[in-house]
Amino acid sequence: MTESWGQFKSFEGKKFDTLDAEFTKEVSKLLGGKDLTACFQCAKCSAGCPVSDKVNIQVHELMRMLLFGLKEVLETDMVWLCTTCYTCQERCPQGIDITDIIFGLKNMAFKKKITPPGYVAARKSLYDSGKLYEPTEWEREDLELDDVPELNVEDTRKVLDKTGLMKLEEGE
């Protein structure tokens, strides 16, 4: 069992109150979610996944939880420990956009504040400066590279205000 992330650590002894068909529908509507219900549990996704041996809940189990409408999936480590390598999506014999579905689950988890703190900090940096990192000037001078062109931060913020990036959390 790994401790790296996620509250949902094992199926053992777990009892689930509801199988929420609405949740499955909601996930099906995500970007990449349209073929979700075609999953027949061949587990090829988990076979090629670089974190299968490092998580408590593997990709094919995550997919099963989605079909069963188990919202607890948002608390599994597989959601935020997906490296986004797209191997599962590339290989799925049913053509399911698995990695894209996991991106959608991350969006859902973020709204519920089930998020590694680094992502909250990254959001602030993207909103405040329009980027994640600043140029290292002395290196650029040594290599005779020109300055990186300036970004009009106000313009980027207008876009991000429209999409509500800083007000994603539910109930706020």
State yes or no: residue 135 binds other proteins (CB under 8 A).
yes
State yes or no: residue 116 binds other proteins (CB under 8 A).
yes
Cβ–Cβ under 8 Å, residues 45 and 91: yes
In angstroms, the CA 152 to CA 61 distance is 44
Of the two residues 16 and 135, which places its CB atom closer to other proteins in the complex? 135
State yes or no: residue 29 binds other proteins (CB under 8 A).
no
State yes or no: residue 84 binds other proteins (CB under 8 A).
yes
State yes or no: residue 171 binds other proteins (CB under 8 A).
no
Question: Which residues, including other chains, have CB under 8 Å from residue 60's CB and lie 6 or more apart?
Answer: 39, 41, 42, 43, 45, 46
In angstroms, the CA 44 to CA 135 distance is 41
State yes or no: residue 169 binds other proteins (CB under 8 A).
no
Question: Which residues, including other chains, have CB under 8 Å from residue 156's CB and lie 6 or more apart?
Answer: 130
Among 1, 17, 40, 139, binds other proteins (CB under 8 A): 139
Of the two residues 19 and 159, which places its CB atom closer to other proteins in the complex? 159
Query: Count of CB atoms within 10 A of residue 42's CB?
Result: 13
Residue 118, judged by CB atoms within 10 A of its CB (0-12, 13-18, 19+), counts as exposed
State yes or no: residue 38 binds other proteins (CB under 8 A).
no
Q: Could you list the residues that contact other proteins (CB under 8 A)?
A: 2, 4-5, 31, 50-51, 54, 80-81, 83-87, 89-90, 97, 99, 103-104, 106-107, 110, 116, 118-119, 122-123, 126, 130-136, 139-140, 143-146, 148-152, 155-156, 158-160, 162-165, 168
